[in-house]
Protein backbone atom coordinates (compact mmCIF):
# COMPACT_ATOMS: atom_id res chain seq x y z
CA UNK A 1 0.00 0.00 0.00
CA UNK A 2 1.23 3.48 -0.82
CA UNK A 3 2.46 5.65 2.03
CA UNK A 4 1.22 9.23 2.37
CA UNK A 5 3.23 11.91 4.20
CA UNK A 6 2.39 15.51 5.10
CA UNK A 7 4.49 18.34 6.55
CA UNK A 8 2.99 21.03 8.74
CA UNK A 9 1.29 22.34 11.81
CA UNK A 10 -0.02 20.43 14.80
CA UNK A 11 -2.20 22.61 17.04
CA UNK A 12 -5.02 22.30 19.54
CA UNK A 13 -8.33 24.02 18.95
CA UNK A 14 -10.32 25.61 21.75
CA UNK A 15 -13.84 26.73 20.95
CA UNK A 16 -16.24 29.24 22.46
CA UNK A 17 -19.42 27.38 23.44
CA UNK A 18 -21.69 30.29 22.43
CA UNK A 19 -21.70 32.08 19.08
CA UNK A 20 -20.84 35.78 18.99
CA UNK A 21 -18.19 38.25 17.89
CA UNK A 22 -14.60 37.53 18.88
CA UNK A 23 -13.01 37.02 22.27
CA UNK A 24 -13.13 40.44 23.92
CA UNK A 25 -15.02 39.25 26.97
CA UNK A 26 -14.73 36.25 29.33
CA UNK A 27 -16.26 33.21 27.60
CA UNK A 28 -17.07 29.58 28.25
CA UNK A 29 -14.68 27.50 26.20
CA UNK A 30 -14.51 23.84 25.23
CA UNK A 31 -11.38 21.97 24.28
CA UNK A 32 -8.51 21.33 23.72
CA UNK A 33 -9.27 19.34 20.57
CA UNK A 34 -6.39 17.92 18.46
CA UNK A 35 -6.12 19.96 15.26
CA UNK A 36 -3.97 21.45 12.49
CA UNK A 37 -5.01 20.86 8.87
CA UNK A 38 -2.12 18.48 7.96
CA UNK A 39 -2.61 16.58 11.24
CA UNK A 40 -6.35 16.11 10.57
CA UNK A 41 -5.55 15.02 7.01
CA UNK A 42 -3.02 12.43 8.18
CA UNK A 43 -5.31 11.20 10.97
CA UNK A 44 -8.07 10.59 8.40
CA UNK A 45 -5.62 8.72 6.14
CA UNK A 46 -4.55 6.58 9.11
CA UNK A 47 -8.16 5.76 9.99
CA UNK A 48 -8.63 4.51 6.42
CA UNK A 49 -5.87 2.00 7.15
CA UNK A 50 -3.40 3.57 4.71
CA UNK A 51 0.27 3.86 5.78
CA UNK A 52 1.03 7.51 6.59
CA UNK A 53 3.13 9.89 8.66
CA UNK A 54 3.55 13.53 9.60
CA UNK A 55 6.58 15.83 9.82
CA UNK A 56 5.86 18.40 12.51
CA UNK A 57 6.92 19.84 15.87
CA UNK A 58 5.18 20.18 19.25
CA UNK A 59 6.17 21.48 22.66
CA UNK A 60 6.84 19.27 25.73
CA UNK A 61 3.31 19.93 27.01
CA UNK A 62 -0.12 18.30 27.29
CA UNK A 63 -1.33 19.83 24.00
CA UNK A 64 1.52 18.16 22.13
CA UNK A 65 0.97 14.90 24.01
CA UNK A 66 -2.75 14.92 23.20
CA UNK A 67 -2.07 15.26 19.47
CA UNK A 68 0.79 12.76 19.34
CA UNK A 69 -1.18 10.12 21.23
CA UNK A 70 -4.23 10.54 18.99
CA UNK A 71 -2.19 10.28 15.78
CA UNK A 72 -0.22 7.32 17.11
CA UNK A 73 -3.34 5.51 18.34
CA UNK A 74 -5.00 5.95 14.95
CA UNK A 75 -2.00 4.42 13.18
CA UNK A 76 0.03 7.38 11.87
CA UNK A 77 3.83 7.36 11.94
CA UNK A 78 4.85 10.17 14.34
CA UNK A 79 8.57 9.37 14.34
CA UNK A 80 9.21 12.69 12.53
CA UNK A 81 7.17 14.79 14.97
CA UNK A 82 9.89 16.39 17.10
CA UNK A 83 9.38 17.74 20.61
CA UNK A 84 11.08 21.15 20.95
CA UNK A 85 12.23 21.47 24.60
CA UNK A 86 11.79 25.26 24.58
CA UNK A 87 8.64 25.29 22.43
CA UNK A 88 4.91 25.44 23.15
CA UNK A 89 2.39 23.51 21.05
CA UNK A 90 0.38 25.76 18.71
CA UNK A 91 -3.19 26.73 19.44
CA UNK A 92 -6.22 28.16 17.68
CA UNK A 93 -9.17 29.70 19.53
CA UNK A 94 -12.32 29.77 17.44
CA UNK A 95 -15.70 31.38 17.92
CA UNK A 96 -18.61 31.14 15.51
CA UNK A 97 -20.55 34.26 14.63
CA UNK A 98 -24.30 34.00 14.24
CA UNK A 99 -23.90 34.24 10.41
CA UNK A 100 -21.76 31.05 10.43
CA UNK A 101 -18.46 32.92 9.86
CA UNK A 102 -15.65 32.26 12.36
CA UNK A 103 -13.29 34.49 14.35
CA UNK A 104 -9.88 32.99 15.19
CA UNK A 105 -6.99 33.77 17.51
CA UNK A 106 -4.00 31.78 16.29
CA UNK A 107 -0.70 30.98 17.96
CA UNK A 108 1.02 28.98 15.22
CA UNK A 109 3.97 30.80 13.68
CA UNK A 110 5.53 31.58 17.09
CA UNK A 111 4.67 28.17 18.56
CA UNK A 112 6.61 24.91 18.20
CA UNK A 113 5.22 24.66 14.63
CA UNK A 114 7.51 27.55 13.71
CA UNK A 115 10.45 25.27 14.53
CA UNK A 116 9.63 22.54 12.02
CA UNK A 117 12.94 21.98 10.23
CA UNK A 118 14.66 19.38 8.12
CA UNK A 119 15.65 16.39 10.27
CA UNK A 120 17.07 12.90 9.87
CA UNK A 121 13.72 11.43 10.98
CA UNK A 122 11.88 13.65 8.48
CA UNK A 123 14.15 12.66 5.59
CA UNK A 124 13.78 9.00 6.56
CA UNK A 125 9.99 9.35 6.48
CA UNK A 126 10.13 11.13 3.10
CA UNK A 127 12.30 8.33 1.72
CA UNK A 128 9.57 5.83 2.62
CA UNK A 129 6.77 7.94 1.10
CA UNK A 130 4.93 7.38 -2.16
CA UNK A 131 2.89 10.56 -1.89
CA UNK A 132 3.23 13.99 -0.27
CA UNK A 133 0.23 16.14 0.67
CA UNK A 134 0.85 19.90 0.93
CA UNK A 135 -1.44 22.38 2.70
CA UNK A 136 -1.40 26.12 2.05
CA UNK A 137 -1.99 26.79 5.76
CA UNK A 138 1.46 25.31 6.49
CA UNK A 139 3.28 27.88 4.34
CA UNK A 140 3.53 30.43 7.17
CA UNK A 141 7.29 31.08 7.12
CA UNK A 142 10.15 31.03 4.65
CA UNK A 143 11.80 28.11 6.44
CA UNK A 144 8.74 25.87 6.25
CA UNK A 145 8.18 26.80 2.60
CA UNK A 146 11.80 25.70 1.96
CA UNK A 147 11.21 22.44 3.87
CA UNK A 148 8.04 21.70 1.90
CA UNK A 149 9.87 22.39 -1.39
CA UNK A 150 12.62 19.99 -0.21
CA UNK A 151 9.98 17.37 0.69
CA UNK A 152 8.33 17.69 -2.74
CA UNK A 153 11.66 17.31 -4.54
CA UNK A 154 12.63 14.32 -2.41
CA UNK A 155 9.33 12.46 -2.88
CA UNK A 156 9.10 13.29 -6.61
CA UNK A 157 12.71 12.24 -7.24
CA UNK A 158 11.68 8.74 -6.16
CA UNK A 159 8.71 8.75 -8.54
CA UNK A 160 6.17 9.80 -5.92
CA UNK A 161 3.14 12.04 -6.40
CA UNK A 162 1.95 15.26 -4.74
CA UNK A 163 -1.45 16.67 -3.81
CA UNK A 164 -2.04 20.29 -2.84
CA UNK A 165 -4.90 21.85 -0.87
CA UNK A 166 -4.33 25.62 -1.03
CA UNK A 167 -6.46 26.40 2.09
CA UNK A 168 -5.01 29.93 2.29
CA UNK A 169 -6.72 33.25 2.66
CA UNK A 170 -6.20 35.78 -0.16
CA UNK A 171 -4.38 38.12 2.30
CA UNK A 172 -1.64 35.48 2.64
CA UNK A 173 -0.73 36.11 -1.01
CA UNK A 174 0.69 39.49 0.01
CA UNK A 175 3.38 37.76 2.13
CA UNK A 176 6.76 38.02 0.43
CA UNK A 177 7.39 35.12 -1.95
CA UNK A 178 4.02 33.46 -1.19
CA UNK A 179 2.52 33.72 -4.67
CA UNK A 180 5.69 32.33 -6.27
CA UNK A 181 5.79 29.47 -3.73
CA UNK A 182 2.13 28.58 -4.36
CA UNK A 183 2.66 28.71 -8.13
CA UNK A 184 5.68 26.39 -7.92
CA UNK A 185 3.84 23.93 -5.67
CA UNK A 186 0.76 23.96 -7.92
CA UNK A 187 2.91 23.42 -11.03
CA UNK A 188 4.43 20.31 -9.46
CA UNK A 189 1.18 18.86 -8.06
CA UNK A 190 -0.67 15.86 -9.42
CA UNK A 191 -3.93 16.50 -7.57
CA UNK A 192 -5.21 20.01 -6.71
CA UNK A 193 -7.98 20.29 -4.10
CA UNK A 194 -9.21 23.89 -3.85
CA UNK A 195 -12.27 24.90 -1.89
CA UNK A 196 -14.74 27.26 -3.65
CA UNK A 197 -13.05 30.57 -4.55
CA UNK A 198 -9.56 29.12 -3.94
CA UNK A 199 -9.87 27.79 -7.51
CA UNK A 200 -9.17 31.36 -8.66
CA UNK A 201 -6.36 32.04 -6.14
CA UNK A 202 -3.57 31.90 -8.70
CA UNK A 203 -5.63 32.47 -11.82
CA UNK A 204 -6.74 35.54 -13.76
CA UNK A 205 -9.75 33.60 -15.14
CA UNK A 206 -13.22 34.60 -14.05
CA UNK A 207 -15.06 31.44 -15.16
CA UNK A 208 -14.62 28.06 -13.43
CA UNK A 209 -13.97 26.17 -16.65
CA UNK A 210 -11.22 28.60 -17.73
CA UNK A 211 -9.49 28.37 -14.34
CA UNK A 212 -9.68 24.55 -14.42
CA UNK A 213 -8.29 24.45 -18.00
CA UNK A 214 -5.41 26.75 -16.93
CA UNK A 215 -4.55 24.48 -13.99
CA UNK A 216 -4.71 21.28 -16.06
CA UNK A 217 -2.43 22.97 -18.64
CA UNK A 218 0.22 23.30 -15.92
CA UNK A 219 0.43 19.50 -15.84
CA UNK A 220 -1.89 18.87 -12.87
CA UNK A 221 -3.58 15.47 -13.41
CA UNK A 222 -6.82 16.10 -11.50
CA UNK A 223 -8.62 19.13 -10.06
CA UNK A 224 -11.08 18.32 -7.26
CA UNK A 225 -13.23 21.30 -6.35
CA UNK A 226 -14.83 21.26 -2.89
CA UNK A 227 -18.14 23.12 -2.76
CA UNK A 228 -19.18 22.73 0.88
CA UNK A 229 -22.86 21.82 1.23
CA UNK A 230 -23.10 21.95 -2.58
CA UNK A 231 -20.88 18.87 -2.94
CA UNK A 232 -17.74 18.46 -5.03
CA UNK A 233 -16.55 18.10 -8.63
CA UNK A 234 -13.67 16.25 -10.33
CA UNK A 235 -11.95 17.32 -13.57
CA UNK A 236 -9.06 15.66 -15.39
CA UNK A 237 -9.46 17.18 -18.86
CA UNK A 238 -11.22 14.09 -20.20
CA UNK A 239 -13.90 13.36 -17.66
CA UNK A 240 -15.90 15.55 -15.31
CA UNK A 241 -17.73 14.08 -12.30
CA UNK A 242 -19.99 15.94 -9.87
CA UNK A 243 -21.15 14.62 -6.51
CA UNK A 244 -23.78 16.42 -4.43
CA UNK A 245 -23.32 16.65 -0.67
CA UNK A 246 -24.92 14.04 1.56
CA UNK A 247 -27.79 15.41 3.65
CA UNK A 248 -26.57 15.80 7.25
CA UNK A 249 -27.00 18.25 10.09
CA UNK A 250 -23.90 20.42 10.29
CA UNK A 251 -22.49 20.80 13.81
CA UNK A 252 -18.93 21.97 13.07
CA UNK A 253 -17.54 22.41 9.52
CA UNK A 254 -13.86 22.65 10.59
CA UNK A 255 -11.86 19.77 9.15
CA UNK A 256 -14.44 18.69 6.52
CA UNK A 257 -12.10 19.64 3.67
CA UNK A 258 -9.20 17.76 5.28
CA UNK A 259 -11.27 14.57 5.79
CA UNK A 260 -12.63 14.90 2.25
CA UNK A 261 -9.14 15.47 0.80
CA UNK A 262 -7.55 12.61 2.74
CA UNK A 263 -10.25 10.20 1.59
CA UNK A 264 -10.06 11.34 -2.03
CA UNK A 265 -6.25 11.14 -2.18
CA UNK A 266 -6.23 7.68 -0.53
CA UNK A 267 -8.88 6.41 -2.98
CA UNK A 268 -6.99 7.96 -5.92
CA UNK A 269 -3.75 6.26 -4.84
CA UNK A 270 -5.63 2.96 -4.52
CA UNK A 271 -6.69 3.35 -8.16
CA UNK A 272 -10.43 3.76 -7.55
CA UNK A 273 -12.52 5.34 -10.32
CA UNK A 274 -13.01 9.11 -9.87
CA UNK A 275 -16.76 8.78 -9.26
CA UNK A 276 -16.19 6.26 -6.45
CA UNK A 277 -13.34 8.28 -4.94
CA UNK A 278 -15.52 11.41 -4.98
CA UNK A 279 -18.43 9.60 -3.34
CA UNK A 280 -16.28 8.22 -0.51
CA UNK A 281 -14.65 11.65 -0.04
CA UNK A 282 -18.08 13.35 0.07
CA UNK A 283 -19.17 10.80 2.69
CA UNK A 284 -16.05 11.55 4.80
CA UNK A 285 -16.69 15.31 4.48
CA UNK A 286 -20.35 14.92 5.47
CA UNK A 287 -19.51 12.73 8.47
CA UNK A 288 -16.89 15.29 9.55
CA UNK A 289 -19.38 18.18 9.81
CA UNK A 290 -21.68 16.17 12.09
CA UNK A 291 -19.12 16.16 14.95
CA UNK A 292 -17.73 18.93 17.11
CA UNK A 293 -13.92 19.20 17.09
CA UNK A 294 -11.76 19.21 13.95
CA UNK A 295 -10.05 15.84 14.34
CA UNK A 296 -13.13 14.30 15.98
CA UNK A 297 -14.62 14.43 12.47
CA UNK A 298 -12.33 11.74 11.03
CA UNK A 299 -13.97 8.36 10.35
CA UNK A 300 -12.97 4.75 9.89
CA UNK A 301 -13.04 3.15 6.46
CA UNK A 302 -15.97 1.00 7.59
CA UNK A 303 -18.02 4.01 8.69
CA UNK A 304 -17.34 5.88 5.45
CA UNK A 305 -18.20 2.86 3.28
CA UNK A 306 -21.38 2.17 5.26
CA UNK A 307 -22.47 5.80 5.14
CA UNK A 308 -21.78 6.07 1.39
CA UNK A 309 -23.69 2.85 0.70
CA UNK A 310 -26.79 3.70 2.75
CA UNK A 311 -27.21 7.45 2.51
CA UNK A 312 -29.00 9.42 -0.14
CA UNK A 313 -27.44 12.62 -1.32
CA UNK A 314 -28.97 16.00 -0.64
CA UNK A 315 -30.84 17.63 -3.49
CA UNK A 316 -28.99 20.92 -4.04
P1 LIG B 1 -13.12 23.08 3.15
O2 LIG B 1 -13.31 22.65 4.59
O3 LIG B 1 -11.77 22.77 2.59
O4 LIG B 1 -13.57 24.50 2.88
P5 LIG B 1 -15.68 22.09 2.17
O6 LIG B 1 -16.36 22.93 3.19
O7 LIG B 1 -16.02 22.34 0.75
O8 LIG B 1 -14.09 22.13 2.30
O9 LIG B 1 -16.01 20.57 2.56
C10 LIG B 1 -15.43 19.49 1.85
C11 LIG B 1 -16.50 18.52 1.41
O12 LIG B 1 -17.19 18.01 2.57
C13 LIG B 1 -17.57 19.12 0.51
O14 LIG B 1 -17.16 19.11 -0.85
C15 LIG B 1 -18.76 18.20 0.79
O16 LIG B 1 -18.66 17.01 0.01
C17 LIG B 1 -18.58 17.86 2.27
N18 LIG B 1 -19.35 18.81 3.09
C19 LIG B 1 -18.93 20.01 3.58
N20 LIG B 1 -19.93 20.63 4.25
C21 LIG B 1 -21.01 19.79 4.20
C22 LIG B 1 -22.35 19.84 4.71
N23 LIG B 1 -22.80 20.89 5.43
N24 LIG B 1 -23.16 18.80 4.45
C25 LIG B 1 -22.72 17.72 3.76
N26 LIG B 1 -21.49 17.62 3.24
C27 LIG B 1 -20.63 18.63 3.47
Q: From ligand 1's centre to the CA of 229, what distance in Å?
A: 5
Q: What is the distance between the alpha carbons of residues 17 and 30, in angstroms, rounded to a whole number?
A: 6
Q: Could you tell me the pLDDT band of residue 174, with boundaries at 50, 70 and 90?
A: confident
Q: What CA–CA distances, in Å, run from 200 to 48, 165, 169, 257, 282? A: 31, 13, 12, 17, 22
* 172 vs 34, residue with greater confidence: 34
**Tens of pLDDT along 255-297?**
999 999 999 999 999 999 999 999 999 999 999 999 999 999 9
Residue 11 has pLDDT above 60, yes or no: yes
* pLDDT, tens digit (0-9, with 9 covering 90-100), for 193-251: 999 999 998 888 999 999 999 999 999 999 999 999 999 999 999 999 999 999 999 99
Closest ligand 1 atom to the C-alpha of 255?
2
> Is the distance from the beta carbon of residue 230 to the nearest atom of ligand 1 less than 6 Å?
no
Q: Please classify residue 167 by burial: count the beta carbons closer than 10 Å to its beta carbon, then call 0-12 exposed, 13-18 middle and 19+ buried.
A: buried
231 lines ligand 1 (CB under 6 A): yes
| Residue nearest ligand 1's atom 13 by CA | 228
Peptide bond into 32 cis (omega under 30): yes
For atom 21 of ligand 1, the residue with the nearest CA is 229
The confidence band for 316, taking pLDDT boundaries of 50, 70 and 90, is very low
**Is residue 224 lining ligand 1, measured as CB closer than 6 Å?**
no
Query: pLDDT of 83-92, one tens digit each?
Result: 999 999 999 9
pLDDT score for 219: 97
Ligand 1 pocket check: which of 135, 136, 256, 258 to mutate, most ligand atoms within 8 Å of Cβ?
A: 256
Domains and CATH numbers, the chain: 4-310 (3.40.1190.20)
User: Under 8 Å CB-to-CB from 60, ≥6 apart: which residues?
Assistant: 83, 84, 85, 87
Which of 226, 259, 295 most suits a substitution to test ligand 1, by most atoms within 8 Å of the C-beta?
Answer: 226
Amino acid sequence: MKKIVAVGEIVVEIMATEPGDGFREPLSLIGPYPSGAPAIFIDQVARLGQPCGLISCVGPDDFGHLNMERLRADGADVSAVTVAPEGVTGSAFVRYRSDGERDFVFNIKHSACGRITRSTEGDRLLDSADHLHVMGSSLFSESIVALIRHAMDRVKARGGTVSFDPNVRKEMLTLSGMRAALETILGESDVFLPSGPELFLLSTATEEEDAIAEILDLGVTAVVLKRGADGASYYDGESTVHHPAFAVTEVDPTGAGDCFGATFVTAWLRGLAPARALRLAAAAGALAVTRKGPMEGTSTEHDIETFAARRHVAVT
